[in-house]
Amino acid sequence: MSTKNSDNKSSTLSGPISRRSLLQAGGFAAALGMPIPFIEKLAPGIIPAALAQAPRDPAALKPGLTILGDRPLNMETPPHLLDEDITSGARMFVRNNGLPPILTDADIENWRLVIDGEVENPLDLSIVDLQRDFETVSLRLQIECAGNGRRFMKPAARGNQWSFGAISCAEWTGVRLRDVLLRAGLKKSALYTAHHSADTHLSGDPEKAPISRGIPIIKALEAHTLIAFGMNGTAIPALNGHPLRLVASGWPGSCSQKWLTGIEIRDRVHDGAKMTGQSYRVPAYPVAPGTVVPDTDMRIIEALPVKSLITAPQTGVRVGAGEAFDVRGAAWAGDLAVAALDISVDFGASWTRARLDPPANKYAWQRWRTELRFAQAGYYEIWARARDEAGNMQPAIPPGWNPRGYLNNMQHRIAVFVL
Ligand SMILES: Nc1nc2c(c(=O)[nH]1)N[C@H]1C(S)=C(S)[C@@H](COP(=O)(O)O)O[C@H]1N2
Ligand SMILES: [Mo]
């Protein structure tokens, strides 16, 4: 069990019962909504199963994914498993800040979404209400964790040590957040959203949210920001937010609240869990690697930078000399479209253009492909570099070091053995 790199401190305690564990015991009872008669017999460090339950075998739910930590559960997808136009549920990465809710069929049937705050008419909606009262849309939307690529930052930054695989592009079905907010009637004071969900803080304390982020109203009113109740023509996978989640594509994945229960409209920038301090924020100016940056100099991350992956072949592939083989991947660029994808086989000295598909819709990743052939046996690498429509290009090495290691959009490369 590794929680060293997570944003939250582990609640595991050892040794005699401490004041903290007694407080925590009270928290467990509160979280469960009932007393725990034998609480004093529960050894410190053991979390009640009803709160602690992670899937018994997450690896079986998502075969082939790399588990970065199990409390909270975080799993990333190796690039070669992302070689699908639409990411399947079994291959979608998992980023949890707390403990996913344990839901019964009745919980799902009785799910409510509350829209309140700076609105004329607060709403309290069931999923059936959403489906009946608003237009249903399906869009391919990429979701990337802002910390994707963190493990390549030097000096190392704390947090999940993602390499390249905290990215997905599934087809989400739901209603536009915009339509729901317009129905509720935004007041003039509406400035920012605040997202609430049914997962539990690692401590079990019901007063604490594992994460509660928000987005500026302008992003909330964007036609591609969805309240989703389906994915890839079926239910959203349990670990990815079933039965209801927000999808605010192109921005840090943390803006896409899973297990969504509420959207509060605020008259100021939201200050919920992981909105302030160093979380999902970067220095407002470039800093030397390793610099300690005061919270007041950090700004909230909005659109993510241009990035790409080589999804086929798998790194380490063996091909015959003179043998042609297909190279494929995906590219995406926050709020922008990708304009070009180039490939290098000489360690970045020269580049050739690959064929790049247009996005299926705005915020869908764009697939790219080319064919390669190496006449001479030996060790080669394939590097991929995307450029967005504003002219921004992926760097070869991590750009702009920042304290928490966000926004690393360095190029992806794979090894090829030509025999
Ligand atoms: N309720 C809730 N929503 C959440 C999170 C969470 O811990 N709890 N993690 C966020 C983060 S940091 C990311 S990157 C995305 C990941 O989405 P996925 O786990 O479906 O891939 O979910 C976001 N939504
Ligand atoms: Mo994230």
CA angle 107, 270, 54 (to 5 degrees): 35
Share of the chain above pLDDT 70, in %: 91
* Distance separating alpha carbons of residues 344 and 353, to the nearest angstrom: 9
* Distance separating alpha carbons of residues 411 and 163, to the nearest angstrom: 12
- Write down the H helix ranges in 303-369: none
* Distance separating alpha carbons of residues 42 and 45, to the nearest angstrom: 9
* Distance separating alpha carbons of residues 218 and 214, to the nearest angstrom: 12
* Distance separating alpha carbons of residues 196 and 179, to the nearest angstrom: 19
- Check residue 55 and give its pLDDT: 59
Structure-token pair, residue 233: 């023509």
Q: Binning pLDDT at 50, 70 and 90, where does residue 43 land?
A: confident
- Check residue 50 and give its pLDDT: 72
- Check residue 52 and give its pLDDT: 64
**Which of 5, 61, 96, 404 gets mutated to test ligand 1 (max ligand atoms within 8 A of its CB)?**
96
- Check residue 16 and give its pLDDT: 38
Which residues' Cβ are closer than 6 Å to ligand 1? 92-98, 143, 145, 168, 197, 199, 210-211, 240-241, 253-254, 256-259
- Check residue 339 and give its pLDDT: 98
Q: Which atom belonging to ligand 1 lies closest to the Cα atom of 198? A: 1
Q: Looking at residues 364-382, what average pLDDT do you find?
A: 97
Class at the top of the CATH hierarchy for domain 307-418: mainly beta
Structure-token pair, residue 255: 């803006």
Give me the torsion for CA of 79, 83, 85, 88, rounded to 10°.
Answer: -80
Q: Binning pLDDT at 50, 70 and 90, where does residue 319 land?
A: very high
* Distance separating alpha carbons of residues 83 and 412, to the nearest angstrom: 14
- Check residue 10 and give its pLDDT: 35
* Distance separating alpha carbons of residues 283 and 133, to the nearest angstrom: 42
- Write down the H helix ranges in 110-249: 127-133, 177-184, 217-220
Q: Binning pLDDT at 50, 70 and 90, where does residue 5 land?
A: very low
**Element holding 246 (H helix, E strand):** strand 245-247
User: 341 and 367 in contact (C-beta within 8 Å)?
Assistant: no
- Check residue 53 and give its pLDDT: 58
Cis status, amide bond into 243, omega within 30 of 0 = yes
Class at the top of the CATH hierarchy for domain 9-300: alpha beta
> Which regions of the chain carry the CATH code 3.90.420.10?
9-300
User: What are the residues whose beta carbon lies below 5 Å from ligand 2 (ion)?
Assistant: 95, 145, 253-254
More confident residue, 180 or 71: 180
**What is the residue whose two structure tokens read 């046996």?**
377
* Distance separating alpha carbons of residues 105 and 127, to the nearest angstrom: 13
- Check residue 34 and give its pLDDT: 80
- 379 pairs with which residues across the strands? 417
**Mean residue pLDDT across the chain:** 92
User: 321 and 378 in contact (C-beta within 8 Å)?
Assistant: no
Q: Looking at residues 26-42, what average pLDDT do you find?
A: 78
Q: How far is the CA of 254 from the centre of ligand 1 (A)?
A: 5
* Distance separating alpha carbons of residues 88 and 149, to the nearest angstrom: 22
Residues 6+ apart with CB under 8 A from 34: none
User: 401 and 154 in contact (C-beta within 8 Å)?
Assistant: yes
- Check residue 90 and give its pLDDT: 95
> Which regions of the chain carry the CATH code 2.60.40.650?
307-418
**Which of 5, 75, 87, 97 gets mutated to test ligand 1 (max ligand atoms within 8 A of its CB)?**
97
pLDDT in tens, 100-129: 998 989 999 999 999 999 999 999 999 999
* Distance separating alpha carbons of residues 199 and 231, to the nearest angstrom: 20
* Distance separating alpha carbons of residues 60 and 120, to the nearest angstrom: 46
**Which of 113, 254, 281 gets mutated to test ligand 1 (max ligand atoms within 8 A of its CB)?**
254
- Strands of 412-418's sheet in order across: 317-319, 412-418, 378-388, 338-344, 352-353
